[in-house]
Amino acid sequence: MNPEKIEIFDTTLRDGEQVPGCKLNTEQKLVIAEKLDFLGVDIIEAGFPISSPGDFQSVQEISKIVKNAKVCGLTRANKKDIEVAAEALKYAKRPRIHTGIGTSDSHIKFKFNSTREDIIERAVEAVKYARNFADDVEFYAEDAGRTDNDFLAKVCEEVIKAGATVLNIPDTTGYCLPEEYGRKIKYLRDNVKDIDKAILSCHCHNDLGMATANSISGIINGARQIECTINGLGERAGNTALEEVVMIIKQHPDLNFFTDINSKMLNEMSYLVSELMGMPVQPNKAIVGANAFAHSSGIHQDGVIKNRETYEIIDPREVGINESSIVLTARSGRSALAYRFKNIGFDVTKTELDFLYQEFLKVADTKKEVDNDDLKFMMKSFTQKIG
Ligand code: KIV
Ligand code: ZN
């Protein structure tokens, strides 16, 4: 069976930009949108047009410049939001309106003081109304992660009838276990009439650190779109990280999926978003963290120097990093030291190495990391000593 495509829906500029301190101006958003388009994402969620004049303008300008991806605008389930989003998207080659409403009992009772019947009615009206402006309408069932599966299936069935082309099943609070989220997707595939008329989409939050695992469980169980952000940015603990799902799909051909993302751009994409949003990436972040391809313990370094695959499951060049790094610390061994000396032009003999290693340990115990300047200084003192 041929691998199936997973659509990548990037929401860095909407869910990601909601993060306190991550606000971007229109110019910055345009730079990111253009690069996301080059990266190969299928859909760019450009913003929530009714939320502010700035967001409206950003969605409109992004719509004008994006060449390949669909451009999407978020709305609540009401006419005004939908009209404003449609207006903001009017220059998009391939516009998508993303409308929806909370479906969990908690949202129905506390947010809307409403009933399940009324929620279905509002959902259907919103989708029908949005279809007047766009052929592509995605419906989100907010807090689907905590929504009763029978009711969720009913909502999905009704919005498909109303014309929804994509069904977003958000685990808004990041509560679901991967197996539970996967079962939810499977339940919808098995129980919603005409489910083949729509694409099921995973939109997972990371409150319990399971956003990526849940998204992968979702596609294994029948979803064909993942909503994600660069560096996993997003409300609270963030969203599914784009770079993670893309590399999981790539490194696991056994899953039999593919994406259209050019993985060699992941590192520069991460850097750009981090710089423009002023949001540093944690060093141990999977795929794009500074330490993702750095080895510091002697045992690992020795293995990687002999063969990279002993401790690396991804070739760093696949994500746009030139090479793995061998970091010199007090836990490093002789082979790492010899390797680093070689990198700066010194091919040391075994006897030289024995001596230099003792000098290295003295320096390493006083510093977190020994750098090339330290190595050059060590080599200079050594050559002066031996005359
Ligand atoms: O997390 C969520 O439920 C959302 C929706 C608005 C799609 O971001
Ligand atoms: Zn979200």
pLDDT digit string (tens) for 109-138? 999 999 999 999 999 999 999 999 999 999
pLDDT surpassing 90 at residue 104 = yes
Domain ranges for the chain = 4-277, 294-386
- pLDDT tens by residue, 224-250: 999 999 999 999 999 999 999 999 999
Structure tokens, 371: 């750098």
280 C-alpha to center of ligand 1: Å? 24
Structure tokens, 232: 């996993």
In this structure, what are the phi and psi dihedrals at residue 210, rounded to the nearest 5 degrees?
A: -115, 10
* Nearest CA, atom 7, ligand 1: 140
Averaged pLDDT of the chain: 97
Contact assessment for residue 73 and residue 48, using Cβ atoms and an 8 Å cutoff: yes
CA-CA distance, 365 to 331, in Å (whole number)?
9
Residues near 179 by Cβ (< 8 Å), separated by ≥ 6?
Answer: 217
CATH fold of 4-277: TIM Barrel (3.20.20)
| Average pLDDT of the segment spanning 364-378 | 96
Does the beta carbon of 15 lie inside 6 Å of ligand 1?
yes
* Nearest CA, atom 6, ligand 1: 142
Ligand 1 atom nearest to 14, measured from its CA: 8
Residues near 180 by Cβ (< 8 Å), separated by ≥ 6?
Answer: none
343 C-alpha to center of ligand 1: Å? 48
Percent of the chain with pLDDT strictly greater than 90: 98
* Nearest CA, atom 1, ligand 1: 172
168 C-alpha to center of ligand 2: Å? 10
* Nearest CA, atom 2, ligand 1: 172
- pLDDT tens by residue, 299-319: 999 999 999 999 999 999 999
* Nearest CA, atom 5, ligand 1: 142
**Looking at residue 94, what is its pLDDT?**
98
**Looking at residue 386, what is its pLDDT?**
83
CA-CA distance, 163 to 372, in Å (whole number)?
62
pLDDT surpassing 90 at residue 381 = yes
CB atoms under 10 Å from CB of 4, counted, come to 11
CA-CA distance, 332 to 142, in Å (whole number)?
49
Residues near 189 by Cβ (< 8 Å), separated by ≥ 6?
Answer: 195, 200, 221, 222
Does the beta carbon of 234 lie inside 6 Å of ligand 1?
no
Instruction: Kindly state the greatest CA–CA separation across the chain.
Output: 90
- pLDDT tens by residue, 168-203: 999 999 999 999 999 999 999 999 999 999 999 999
Structure tokens, 209: 């650190």
170 C-alpha to center of ligand 1: Å? 6
**Looking at residue 259, what is its pLDDT?**
98
Percent of the chain with pLDDT strictly greater than 70: 100
| Average pLDDT of the segment spanning 248-262 | 98
15 C-alpha to center of ligand 1: Å? 8
Q: In whole angstroms, how far apart are CA 329 and each of 75, 134, 229, 323, 364?
A: 51, 57, 34, 19, 6
pLDDT band at 385 (very low <50, low <70, confident <90, very high): confident
pLDDT surpassing 80 at residue 387 = no
Does the beta carbon of 104 lie inside 6 Å of ligand 1?
no
Q: Which residue has the tokens 């809307």?
A: 112
Does the beta carbon of 203 lie inside 6 Å of ligand 1?
yes
Residue 132 per-residue DSSP state: T
H helices present in 40-115, as ranges:
53-65, 79-88, 105-106
206 C-alpha to center of ligand 1: Å? 12
Ligand nearest to the CA of 233: 2
Does the beta carbon of 142 lie inside 6 Å of ligand 1?
yes
